[in-house]
């Protein structure tokens, strides 16, 4: 038979999904596995939002909507962007998609031609390079800046620019590091973008999960000059409103880019779910208190996990400023004996943690940091305490 697509064959399956599949099969075998691998809130969708979805069904709001989303939701998104981010958008600049992930892949399809380079700073969310490749683009990875707290570094980005560079991806707060870019970081990156005529894809999906007095979310699109035209802001309700399964995300961009994103989406998926759009519009208009309540739950969990992790020997981490991940350097465990072998990589550590301690974490090789693991603290305080106690006894029990 003829070979299948070279592009699709080159795509790596997601290692986060591999971890959860392994955790699931252990659980099916009767093991009490603590899953710190997922990138998903464990909280239910707030009741007012769910009620808006139920009402949409009862009202018969169950037909296709405009391919770019309802006018009602796109107006609600414009209101949110003005209120929270200081961005002035018209509904024609918004395309509502099936989650932020879909909005991102539409965006790459709209801006990339084969061979175009896209600069991505490590550590990065593992889907960006694959999405770029699916569009024929070339991901160019900037090495992690541990000394800078893993924030994106404008000078390193500048050094990665070539005459083929089309765009830079920014993700603040970051999955997996939890780092939050400062206004100064973003201003310096905006300068690089303007000087080299680059688009900036700014994934702001964790905007509402931000902790500590110093961390403030700034959208790079709000920094003036022509950044509002160069930047494509990606956001959604998945993480802010505990609505992962509803699948509503969006892009906000110049009308020219939005037209192309809309064209791509109109042929690939048409509009996102009509019921979820009603719920998302309600969430953006009335869900402010729920967002703050979710943030407070995660702020407490972050405090707890940082305290517990600080007591574990040979792990190194910084308290995350945003999102819900602890990004831990495990190279201090290398060379130690575990389960009949020696730990030589973060993947070995993750496998041994799952096999011995029955705790699922994600090794971050596919996120551009092969000595780190990602521990998701989207779990109850009891489960966090139990899971970290298991990791501590694993680390203390390793052989020489
Ligand atoms: C950085 C980042 N961007 C986008 C997404 C996708 O969000 P959505 O569920 O809205 O597609 C995720 C989900 O894990 C993420 O971590």
Q: Write out pLDDT tens, residues 337-377.
A: 998 899 999 999 999 999 999 999 999 999 999 999 999 99
Task: Kindly state whether residues 252 and 321 are assigned to the same domain.
Answer: no
For residue 12, the model assigns a pLDDT of 82
- Atom nearest to 125 CA in ligand 1: 1
> What is the CATH number for 311?
3.90.1150.10
Task: Kindly state whether residues 221 and 283 are assigned to the same domain.
Answer: yes
By the 8 A CB rule, do 373 and 349 touch?
yes
Closest Cα to residue 156, out of 143, 169, 146, 147?
A: 143
Task: Kindly state whether residues 105 and 11 are assigned to the same domain.
Answer: no
> What is the CATH number for 222?
3.40.640.10
Per-residue pLDDT band for 14 (boundaries 50, 70, 90) equals: confident
Q: Is residue 12 part of a domain?
A: yes
For residue range 18-47, what is the model confidence (pLDDT) as tens digits?
788 888 899 999 999 999 998 889 999 999
Query: Among 261, 287, 313, where does a domain finish?
Result: 287
Task: Kindly state whether residues 140 and 31 are assigned to the same domain.
Answer: no
For residue range 167-222, what is the model confidence (pLDDT) as tens digits?
999 999 999 999 999 999 999 999 999 999 999 999 999 999 999 878 899 999 99
Distance between Cα 175 and ligand 1 center (Å): 9
Query: Among 238, 254, 287, where does a domain finish?
Result: 287
Task: Kindly state whether residues 126 and 159 are assigned to the same domain.
Answer: yes
Task: Kindly state whether residues 15 and 139 are assigned to the same domain.
Answer: no
Residue 307, pLDDT > 80, answer yes
- Atom nearest to 238 CA in ligand 1: 10
Task: Kindly state whether residues 116 and 135 are assigned to the same domain.
Answer: yes
Query: Within 13 Å of residue 264, how many CA atoms lie on the same side as its CB?
Result: 22
Please work out whether the CB of residue 171 comes within 6 Å of at least one atom of ligand 1.
yes
**Helix, strand or coil for residue 183?**
helix
Q: Is residue 56 part of a domain?
A: no
Please work out whether the CB of residue 238 comes within 6 Å of at least one atom of ligand 1.
yes
Task: Kindly state whether residues 134 and 24 are assigned to the same domain.
Answer: no
Task: Kindly state whether residues 85 and 211 are assigned to the same domain.
Answer: yes
Task: Kindly state whether residues 23 and 149 are assigned to the same domain.
Answer: no
Read off the tokens for 36: 């710190």
Q: Is residue 57 part of a domain?
A: no
Query: How many domains are there within the chain?
Result: 2
CB-based burial label for 353 (10 Å; 0-12, 13-18, 19+): buried
Full residue range of the structural domain in which residue 192 is found: 63-287
* Ligand 1 pocket test, candidate residues 239, 324, 364, most atoms within 8 A of CB: 239
Query: Among 238, 268, 287, where does a domain finish?
Result: 287
Q: How far apart are CA 124 and CA 361, in angstroms?
A: 17
């Amino acid at each position: 038979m003829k070979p299948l697509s070279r592009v699709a064959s080159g795509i790596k399956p997601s290692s986060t999904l591999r971890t959860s599949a392994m955790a699931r099969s252990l659980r099916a075998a009767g093991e009490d596995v603590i899953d710190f691998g997922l990138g998903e809130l464990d909280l239910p969708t707030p009741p007012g939002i769910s009620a808006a979805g139920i009402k949409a069904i009862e009202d018969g709001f169950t037909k296709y909507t405009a391919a770019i989303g309802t006018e009602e939701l796109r107006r609600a998104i414009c209101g949110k962007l003005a209120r929270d981010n200081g961005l002035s958008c018209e509904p024609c600049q918004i395309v509502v998609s099936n989650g932020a992930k879909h909005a991102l892949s539409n965006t790459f399809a709209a801006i990339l031609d084969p061979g175009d380079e896209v600069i991505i700073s490590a550590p990065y969310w593992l889907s960006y390079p694959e999405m770029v490749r699916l569009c024929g683009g070339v991901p160019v990875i900037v090495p992690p800046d541990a000394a800078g707290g893993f924030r994106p570094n404008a000078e390193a980005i500048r050094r990665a620019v070539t005459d083929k560079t089309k765009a830079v991806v920014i993700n603040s707060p970051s999955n997996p590091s939890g780092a939050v870019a400062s206004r100064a970081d973003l201003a310096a990156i905006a300068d690089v973008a303007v000087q080299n005529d680059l688009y900036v894809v700014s994934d702001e999906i964790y905007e509402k999960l931000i902790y500590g007095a110093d961390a403030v979310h700034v959208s790079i699109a709000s920094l003036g000059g022509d950044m509002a035209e160069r930047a494509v802001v990606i956001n959604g309700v998945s993480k802010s409103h505990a609505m992962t399964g509803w699948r509503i995300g969006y892009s906000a961009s110049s009308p020219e880019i939005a037209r192309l994103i809309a064209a791509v989406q109109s042929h690939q998926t048409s509009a996102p779910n009509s019921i979820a759009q009603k719920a998302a519009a309600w969430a953006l208009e009335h869900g402010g208190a729920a967002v703050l309540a979710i943030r407070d739950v995660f702020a407490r969990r972050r405090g707890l996990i940082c305290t517990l992790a600080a007591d574990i020997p040979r792990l190194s981490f910084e308290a995350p400023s945003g999102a819900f991940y602890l990004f831990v350097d495990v190279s201090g465990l290398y060379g130690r004996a575990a389960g009949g072998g020696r730990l030589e990589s973060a993947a070995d550590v993750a496998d041994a943690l799952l096999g011995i301690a029955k705790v699922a974490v994600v090794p971050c090789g596919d996120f551009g940091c092969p000595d780190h693991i990602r521990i998701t603290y989207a779990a109850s305080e009891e489960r966090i305490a139990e899971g970290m106690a298991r990791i501590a006894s694993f680390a203390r029990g390793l052989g020489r």
